[in-house]
Structure 1
Amino acid sequence: MVRKFVFATMMGGLLLGATACNTVRGAGDDLKSAANTTEEAIN
């Protein structure tokens, strides 16, 4: 029973970690895009 709980917890953490990584990467891409658009508008 304890092994199942530990396994489920580890898998859940791995899943959340992978999702957070993609979210942060997407936010970084959005910031780059906004910066490029702003730079083009200034020039």
Structure 2
Amino acid sequence: MIRNILFALAAGSLTLGAAACNTVKGAGQDIESVGQAGDDAINK
């Protein structure tokens, strides 16, 4: 259940982040930060 919530939050953050960035490099950084946040949340 918690993993599903975290996944939904990560997907929402990714969508918002991708909409906000104007470059491919920025999109890569957004995706990396969302992945890191999800990984940190799961490992705590």
TM-score by length of 1: 0.51
- Count how many residue pairs are aligned between Structure 1 and Structure 2: 23
- The structure, 1 or 2, with the larger RCO (C-alpha pairs under 8 Å, 6+ apart) is 2
Q: Which runs of 5+ in 1 are unaligned?
A: 1-20
Q: Which runs of structure 1 show a deviation greater than 4 angstroms over 4 or more consecutive aligned residues?
A: none
Structure 2 unaligned segments of length 5 or more: list them: 1-21
The structure with more helix, counted as a fraction of residues: 1
Please give the root-mean-square deviation of Cα atoms over the aligned residues, in Å. 1.2
Identity %: 4
